[in-house]
Amino acid sequence: MRYMKNAIPVKLSLEDGTVYRGKSFGKAVTSAGEVVFNTAMTGYPESLTDPSYRGQILCLTYPLVGNYGAPGKESKDELYIFHESSSIHIKGLIVSDYSFEYSHWSAAGSLHQWLEKNNIPGIYGIDTRALTKRLREKGSMLGKIEPDGMETSFHDPNIDNLVKEVSIKETLRYGKGKHRIVLIDCGVKYNIIRNLLKRDTEVIRVPWDFDYHSLEYDGLFISNGPGDPRMCIETISNIVRSLEKDIPVFGICLGNQLMGLASGADTYKLKYGHRSHNQPVIQCGTNRAFITSQNHGFAVDNDSLGKDWEPLFINVNDNTNEGMKHRDKPFFSTQFHPEASGGPTDTDFLFDIFIDNIEKWKQGRYK
């Protein structure tokens, strides 16, 4: 394994006392957060800019990282084309073998330069397989990154309102389509907005705690986002009011958990979460299986769903909830990411179902 010239020794310490030692890339600063792993083989620019990773130190299990550099900030519809938000959200990056040479048509620089510019520390040269096995056996743990001669304390990001940190502060509007969608921004990925816009919509993106009930709209979308869903008290309160109506609702990831809580169900923290591009789910009541992109550490308790609700998808690996739907009204959600980016797009048809629900609602078929 090659090392950067004058690379600074750095250590990753876990709350159970385990220490991993490697070399620094990116910015040589301390950082603390929750250590999690992602088993995807590609898509690190999308992962680093995914707001759902807020407060987390990310370990990538694919051994070679950095080979296609970091993308630039080209934009379309006021959204960066190759990013999932306007900034990096991880607290640190852990890789086995950092690629010093990069080559990609969209690259604007190296991964090292991108992290350094954004004040994010990275570690390479450690056994990420051993680290991942430990996290699977003991569960996600708090960790801290400390270059030689620097120290910091552990910090649990799940005690923070991370959604408040990543959500927009003022309402934004995109597109001029015939269907008006209110999107609750709990840390939305740009590809969700892109998927809505290409389906003839106008998207009204509102802050996580915004009272949107005075707005005129045809559908409500609840986005992905970081942290414990129970922190979003104002969001849950607004969704409760929405579920009393018939206007179509679609939630993704954290949006699934918030819909669950608003409907009276419970949520809980998974041992080490689902973070990858190869999570298999089954659509309930069918034999249809889909490979999905996922990034979450909490889940809805299937046994706590009310009589008017039922699971929509189930995870094949551990039987956890992967979505829910109302038995009579046009409300549904998924725990996985139909918009992918990165990952497979097998389930992007769910956006079409949402739009179809809106069309039916406009025709009075849900009133």
* Residue 75 identity (one-letter amino acid): S
Nearest CA among 285, 245, 238, 293 for reference residue 261: 238
The C-alpha torsion from 225 through 227 and 229 to 233, rounded to 10°, is -90
- Judge whether 284 counts as a catalytic residue: no
Q: How far apart are the first and last CA of the chain?
A: 64
The residue annotated as part of the active site, out of 179, 274, 296, 337, is: 337
The span from the CA of 55 to the CA of 74, in Å, is 26
282 Cβ contact partners less than 8 Å away, ≥ 6 residues apart: 288, 289, 313, 314, 316
- Judge whether 244 counts as a catalytic residue: no
- Judge whether 339 counts as a catalytic residue: yes
State the pairing for strand pair 219-222/249-252: parallel
The residue annotated as part of the active site, out of 253, 277, 322, 326, is: 253
Catalytic residues: 253, 337, 339
